[in-house]
């Protein structure tokens, strides 16, 4: 009717039309009308622009939302409200959108590459520095994850600064992305130093915290050597070296099959004023299992007892498996009984390892292990059952048949 009457659309007309689609969360039609406005030389109202930008951000389209926000402020004297920029920041962090774009531009008859910062790299300083807004902890954590994923340690450290400013109760998950960001840029020394920083905040780092370091240095021996050089540099600089630092180097050495290097690193603990932890012995025992080095395993257990470190279920698991790698394996049963006496729940993997070795040696005690396995609520896997039956033993299969018929086994 307006078109028939020759009445031109105004900013107010488009504002009403666009709002109708915004109420239905129809971003596509709202954006279409916005483009139509631009074609007619009209500028959307502040409320209209904010509505479309906010909807785009909430629809997980942070790049579109940011482009609309920048275009509006470039063509209007009015500024967007702070909450719009914060919404764009939240959307970008949720989508892990960093937005570093390299473009080629002609300049003085030659092409130059220009780096444009969009996404998190643009929004974080705009919100925190330019607009003087401190995001909440949830938004900050999302930005931290983005920084960790894309290897942006400077951004990660700035987020940590903001977290301290808002009084957040710092935990392990606040520091883990920082370590990841250092590792992705091969700044291993800084990543190792962060482990000590975590301890300074009365937080105990663990092997999960140091996992990005492990992934970074396990690639070859040169990477492990470089990590150890970083440890020595930190120590010579007077910085406290955290035990998790030594543990991750031991873990990487074991992963490379270099038990000698792992044990040598363990022996350096006293020079670094470090007390080994249960994880230290677990990693070393894993190396002993891989190399079938029972004597070294016994020595480690003796030293662990001297250090008054109480074994847990994982310790006994490794001990039992290590015993099963030797020519004689009677101690595996001894440690299993000791484990149960300590009221520790034997994992399924322990029984599977015992059963496989007993079946291989034609040791009838495999049936006792199967019975215990079931008493603990586990189920014999098809693979393990094939191992049992593959050695010509059909007793277990017959027992299973009687169980199915309601008989006693």
pLDDT in tens, 205-240: 988 999 999 999 999 999 999 999 999 999 999 998
Q: What is the pLDDT of residue 183?
A: 96
Q: What is the pLDDT of residue 352?
A: 94
Q: Please state, in angstroms and rounded to a whole number, the distance separating the CA atoms of residues 201 and 197.
A: 7
CB-based contacts of 196-203 (< 8 A; 24+ apart in sequence): 196/234, 196/239, 196/240, 196/241, 196/242, 196/245, 198/172, 198/242, 199/240, 199/242, 201/170, 201/175, 203/170, 203/171, 203/172, 203/175
Q: Please state, in angstroms and rounded to a whole number, the distance separating the CA atoms of residues 81 and 36.
A: 24
Buried b / exposed e over 373-385, threshold 16 CB at 10 Å, is beeeeeebeeebb
CB 53 within 8 A of CB 69: yes
- Average pLDDT of the residues in 87-115: 66
- End-to-end, the C-alpha distance of the chain in Å comes to 87
pLDDT in tens, 262-304: 999 999 999 999 999 999 999 999 999 999 999 999 999 999 9
Q: What is the pLDDT of residue 291?
A: 93
pTM: 0.81
Task: Supply the DSSP symbol for 204.
Answer: -
- Radius of gyration of the chain measured on its C-alpha atoms: 31
The region, left, alpha or beta by phi > 0 then psi within -120 to 50, assigned to residue 44 is beta
Q: What is the pLDDT of residue 7?
A: 84
pLDDT in tens, 24-54: 999 999 999 999 888 888 888 899 999 999 9
Closest by CA to 179, choosing from 171, 167, 187, is 187
Q: What is the pLDDT of residue 100?
A: 59
CB 362 within 8 A of CB 391: yes
Q: What is the pLDDT of residue 102?
A: 47
Q: What is the pLDDT of residue 47?
A: 93
**H helix runs in 106-152, sequence order:** 119-125, 137-150
Q: What is the pLDDT of residue 365?
A: 92
Please check the confidence at residue 323 and state whether its pLDDT lies above 70. Answer: yes
pLDDT bracket for residue 116 (50, 70, 90)? low
- Crossing angle, helix 11-23 and helix 46-58, to 10 degrees? 30
CA dihedral 300, 302, 303, 308 (to 10 degrees): 130
Task: Supply the DSSP symbol for 201.
Answer: T
Please check the confidence at residue 401 and state whether its pLDDT lies above 90. Answer: no
CB 178 within 8 A of CB 153: yes
Task: Map residue 263 onto helix, strand or coil.
Answer: helix
- Average pLDDT of the residues in 393-398: 44
Q: What is the pLDDT of residue 1?
A: 85
Q: What is the pLDDT of residue 41?
A: 86
Please check the confidence at residue 192 and state whether its pLDDT lies above 80. Answer: yes
pLDDT in tens, 59-79: 999 999 999 999 898 888 889
């Amino acid at each position: 009717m307006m078109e028939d009457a020759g009445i031109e659309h105004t900013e107010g007309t488009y504002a009403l039309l666009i709002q109708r689609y915004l109420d239905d969360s129809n971003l596509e039609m709202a954006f279409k009308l916005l483009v139509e406005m631009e074609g007619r030389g009209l500028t959307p109202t502040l409320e209209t622009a904010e509505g479309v930008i906010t909807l785009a951000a909430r629809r997980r389209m942070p790049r579109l939302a940011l482009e609309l926000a920048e275009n509006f402020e470039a063509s209007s004297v009015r500024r967007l409200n702070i909450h719009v920029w914060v919404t764009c920041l939240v959307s970008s962090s949720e989508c892990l959108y960093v937005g570093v774009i390299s473009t080629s531009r002609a300049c003085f008859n030659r092409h130059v590459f220009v780096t444009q910062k969009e996404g998190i790299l643009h929004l974080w300083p705009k919100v925190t520095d330019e607009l003087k807004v401190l995001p909440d902890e949830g938004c900050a954590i999302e930005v931290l994850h983005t920084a960790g994923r894309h290897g942006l340690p400077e951004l990660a450290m700035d987020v940590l600064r903001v977290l301290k400013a808002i009084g957040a109760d710092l935990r392990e998950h606040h520091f883990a992305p920082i370590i990841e960001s250092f590792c992705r840029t091969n700044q291993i020394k800084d990543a190792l130093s962060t482990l000590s920083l975590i301890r300074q905040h009365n937080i105990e780092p663990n092997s999960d915290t140091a996992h990005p370091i492990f992934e970074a240095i396990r690639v070859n021996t040169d990477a492990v050597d470089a990590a150890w050089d970083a440890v020595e540099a930190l120590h010579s600089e007077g910085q406290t070296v955290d035990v998790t630092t030594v543990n991750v180097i031991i873990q990487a050495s074991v992963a490379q099959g270099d038990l000698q290097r792992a044990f040598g690193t363990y022996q350096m603990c006293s020079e670094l004023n470090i007390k080994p932890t249960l994880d230290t012995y677990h990693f070393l025992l894993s190396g002993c299992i891989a190399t079938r080095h029972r004597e070294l395993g016994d020595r480690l257990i003796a030293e662990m007892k001297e250090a008054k470190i109480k074994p847990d279920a994982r310790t006994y698991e490794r001990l039992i498996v290590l015993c099963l790698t030797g020519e004689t394996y009677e101690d595996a049963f001894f440690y299993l009984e000791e484990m149960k006496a300590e009221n520790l729940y034997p994992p399924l993997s322990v029984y599977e390892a015992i059963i496989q070795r007993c079946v291989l040696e034609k040791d009838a005690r495999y049936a006792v292990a199967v019975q215990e396995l079931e008493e603990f609520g586990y189920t014999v896997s098809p693979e393990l059952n094939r191992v049992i039956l593959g050695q010509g033993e059909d007793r277990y299969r017959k027992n299973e048949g009687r169980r199915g018929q309601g008989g006693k086994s």
